[in-house]
Structure 1
Amino acid sequence: MLRIILLAVALCLGPIAGAAQQTVDQPSSTIAVEDSAERDAAIAVRIRNILAELEGYEDVTVAVTSGIVTLRGTTVDQALAERLTGLVARVENVVAIENEVRQTTDVVEQLDPAVERFLDRFRQFVTYLPLALVALTAFVLVVSLGFVIARMKRPWDRLAPNPFIADLYRQVVRLAFVIAGLVVALDILNASALLSTILGAAGIVGLAIGFAVRDTVENFIASIMLSIRQPFRPNDTVEIEGDIGKVIRLTSRATILLSFDGNHIRIPNATVFKSRIVNYSRNDERRFVVDLGVAYDTDLVEAQALALETVRNLPFVLKAPAPSVWIEALGDSAVTLRVAAWIAQRETSHPAARGEAYRLCLAAMNAAGIEMPGPTYTIIGAPASAPQQAASPAPAPRQPAKAPQNQDLEAQDVGVQAEDELDEMISQERQEQADHDLLSSAAPEE
């Protein structure tokens, strides 16, 4: 009984599935009972006329028998062959379609469409060329106007605090006019929609370049900030990251110092901007310090008064701020007195003043009979079990060296002649490379 039911179901579903398969890309209209040769000829003529108006079907032939359309031939594209079935199915009175059209393998026929497309594009380019030339001319005129305005000195040099910032203004003006020229050209070409694409691509490229040259960008920004802030001036004595020297110039990449040994020190501006800067030249008054070591049995009050009086009487020492002296430390063999005094460093050499203070304080201590002992060393002998060595006389204790009695107690010249020579070297170099300096004496001090 079960077999009879399954057989009946199969017989019912078989025609339905076959009909579904036959209806794929086939006409779905009813089939007429009468067969007409005239109707077949009319169908064939209609299909041929349609294919004649379409490109790519020149080698396709059409045959119609009892409403069944048979298509044979070749096309340059398989997609064109597959479109035929759907196209012919729309023709009235077509019963079925046999599509035997295949893609051609002839190289010449395959290349002909590509050559035709190239020729079409070339003709479009030639037709479009006058308008493109007009757009290019407009772009060049706008950009040229921007470069002329940027080349002018008066507005930008007056607005900017230094030449470096003025050049930045000029670069911004050039970039603005380039973008404006691009907008005008694209508008003439009726392609303004491309502007957002171009700007987006430029932003992505700029971001990638920014990550790639991050240190360079950081250094460039630091150069802008330093040129605006001006934390030092030419010839200023500064200390940056442990390097001490006189400022020669500030460039767009580095700060150039001249050490007191005559060496050039180049420090990247990013380092300078983030570092602790000690400017010794900003204030004219500068303090120097002298350390003196006296014996433990010395009258410290007398020694301090003598050192203070000696330093106070130096002609290059300022009265205000007044000199001072104090006990700095208790050493192994001496008590350290520290004497501090102030000078006007634009008239007095700091190293020379400090050295002259040392010399005269030593002479004053020697004249007053105040002992200034040197380091004392204790030598530990061999253990008791060691063999006895031949007795030898103990060496006499070393006497501390004393300063000569006939020293010149007059202060020597401590002018700034040595530093003047360094300043002359710096001035000469700045004149040779004046265009590369961002420091300006007219800029506000930080």
Structure 2
Amino acid sequence: MNLELSAVWTRVQNLLQSFIVTIPNILIGLLVFVIFLLVAGLARSAVSKLAERTGQPKGIALVFSRIVSWLVIGVGVLVALTVVFPTLTAASLFGALGVSGVAIGFAFKDIFQNLLAGILILITRPFRIGDQIVSGSHEGVVEDIQVRATLLRTYDNRRVVIPNSELYTTRVAVNTAYPQRRLAVTVGIGYGDDIAAARKLILDTLHGLDGLLQDPAPSVLVKELGDFSVNLEVRFWIDPPIRKEAVETQDTVLEAIKNALPAAGFDLPFPTQQVLWHDQTETTDGDRTQQREGWPARKANPPSRQQAQREAQGEEQQKAGVTNADAPELHRAQPQEPQQP
């Protein structure tokens, strides 16, 4: 069997000749692309300087400079392709891009959504680079607002990457949006303590602490009547409103109040519980015919346990023939309880 390889060899020669002819176009296309890369760098620097001169935030300058740079590079790629492949005209190239635009849009929907959200965040400026924000379960300092996501540095030195669309569509608390911030701590005093005196003592204690603003002045409000204490809410303001200042100031306030209240005779009560039995009929319980402690009212006021015990002992003594005069020791052993009303 004889194989005819001349046609194959002719095909290979034509391909090599076409490649050799295309080498100048490839070199020129690479040169054009390098030129566009340099132009992209210059455009990026120009946009950054323009944003700084107009007083725009650093995040806006950074993102828009990146967008301009990518646009220039994209145009450079298209021009380089038309140089390398002369038969590829701009009309056919944009036509191909238009046909595949729908598929690209669906494939990169999340990227485009985050890109638009990042631009809107930079334009509306709900927060800026350097602000301390809370988003969901994450809290930290905004390090960078990129095209796709925002970089958040937590207080325990971790990096959290949050998509821009999530930040733009969900609730975000900006702790450093205003120059001052109000904090509050809760302190409990006993029910027998004087609330007005405790309030005055706390305010006098806060007056001499560093880091607290006196305008607006601190305040003390009765928050609730708790299970075992009267809870007071101590409010005060700090400046600057950063996390470090908030934690340190709360520590200082709590320590000062803890030392001042007991020294002045105020009680800082512990949690207590009272267990009541349904058959408890002590003398100090009062009138059992009235509903009390959630117990049902009784038609009669039963005697206390001490009275019932003395009556039982008296009955036993009577049965044994022992009178009160014969057993004075028994009366001394059983002290008389105050009679119920």
TM range (shorter): 0.5 to 0.7
Cα distance change of structure 1 residues 364 and 253 upon mapping to structure 2, 3 Å threshold: same
1:175 is aligned to 2:74: yes
* Amino acid aligned to 1:150: A
Partner Cα separation in structure 2 for residue 256 and residue 154 of structure 1: 23
Distance 1:179 1:289, change over 3 A: same
Match of 2:250 in 1: 354
Residues 276 and 133 (structure 1 numbering): CA distance in 2 closer, same or farther, change over 3 Å? same
Residue identity in the other structure for 1:157: S
Structure-to-structure mapping, 1:9-408, within 5 angstroms: 143-152=33-42, 154-159=45-50, 161-179=60-78, 195-227=90-122, 229=125, 231-234=127-130, 236-345=131-240, 349-381=245-277
Question: Structure 2 counterpart of 1:163, which letter?
Answer: L
Distance 2:35 2:190 in 1: 82
CA contact (8 A) 2:181 2:241 kept: no
Q: What per-residue deviation string (whole Å, max 9, x for no partner) do you get for residues 326-374 of structure 1?
A: 1111212222111111122379732122122122222222122222322
Deviation at 1:177, TM superposition (A): 4.2
Q: Over residues 170-192 of structure 1, what are the superposed CA-to-partner deviations in whole Å (9 max), with x where a residue is unaligned?
A: 22123234445667888x75x85
RMSD of aligned residue pairs (Cα, Å): 4.0
Offset at 1:383? 7.6
- What amino acid maps onto 1:237 in structure 2? Q
The 1-side partners of 2:231 and 2:127 are apart by: 37
The separation in 1 between residues aligned to 2:93 and 2:279, in whole angstroms, is: 90
What is the distance in 2 between the residues matched to 1:170 and 1:312?
A: 55
CA distance in 2, matches of 1:134, 1:263: 51
> TM-score of the superposition, structure 2-length normalised?
0.62
Structure 2: 5+ residue stretches without partners: 1-5, 52-59, 281-304, 306-341
CA contact (8 A) 2:63 2:145 kept: no
The CA distance in 2 between the partners of 1:260 and 1:338, in whole Å, is 27
What is the CA deviation profile of residues 396-441 of structure 1, one whole-angstrom value per residue up to 9, with x for unaligned ones?
xxxxxxxxxxxxxxxxxxxxxxxxxxxxxxxxxxxxxxxxxxxxxx
Change in 2 beyond 3 A, CA 1:362/1:201: same
Letter in structure 1 aligned against 2:268: M
- Distance in structure 1 (CA, Å) of the matches to 2:120 and 2:164: 9
- Structure number with bigger Rg: 1
Contact kept in structure 2, 1:245 and 1:258, CA below 8 Å = yes
- Cα deviation for residue 317 of structure 1 reads 1.7
1:354 partner amino acid: Q
Q: Structure 1 length as normaliser, TM-score?
A: 0.49
Q: Distance in 2 between matches of 1:207 and 1:324?
A: 61
Change (3 A) 1:248 1:155: closer
1:169 counterpart letter in structure 2: V
Alpha-carbon offset, residue 296 of structure 1: 2.5
Tell me the number of residue pairs that the alignment of Structure 1 and Structure 2 aligns. Answer: 265
- For 2:161 and 2:19, the matched residues in 1 are separated by 54
CA distance in structure 1 between the aligned counterparts of 2:160 and 2:100, rounded to whole angstroms: 35
In 2, are the aligned partners of 1:328 and 1:338 still within 8 Å (CA)?
Answer: yes
User: What amino acid does structure 1 have at the position aligned with 2:257?
Assistant: C
Task: Pick closer, same or farther for the CA change 1:367–1:260 going to 2, 3 Å.
Answer: same
Query: Using a 3 Å threshold, how does the CA distance of structure 1 residues 232 and 339 change in structure 2: closer, same or farther?
Result: same
* Amino acid paired to 1:299: D
* Aligned 8 A contact 1:248 1:257 in 2: yes
User: CA 1:132 to 1:340, structure 2 compared with 1: closer, same or farther past 3 Å?
Assistant: same
Unaligned ranges ≥5, structure 1 = 1-114, 385-390, 392-446
Give yes or no for contact 1:156–1:170 (8 Å, CA) kept in 2: no
For 2:259, give the aligned amino acid. Answer: A
Q: Is the 8 A contact 2:152 2:161 kept in 1?
A: yes
In the alignment, the residues of structure 2 paired with residue 231 and residue 130 of structure 1 have an alpha-carbon distance, to the nearest angstrom, of 56
Amino acid paired to 1:167: R
Letter in 2 for 1:240: S
Structure-2 change in CA distance of 1:157 and 1:256 (3 Å):
closer
Indicate if the aligned counterparts of 2:180 and 2:238 stay in contact, CA closer than 8 A. yes
Q: Say whether the 8 Å CA contact 2:129–2:142 is kept in structure 1.
A: yes
SS in 1 for 2:99: helix
Distance 1:256 1:156, change over 3 A: closer
Describe the SS at the equivalent of 1:273: helix
Contact 2:45/2:65 (CA < 8 Å) preserved in 1? Answer: no
Aligned-residue offset at 1:254: 3.3
Q: Work out the CA distance in 2 between the residues paired with 1:260 and 1:130.
A: 60
Equivalent pair of 1:162/1:227 in contact (CA under 8 Å): no
- State how far apart, in whole Å, the 1-side matches of 2:177 and 2:235 are: 20
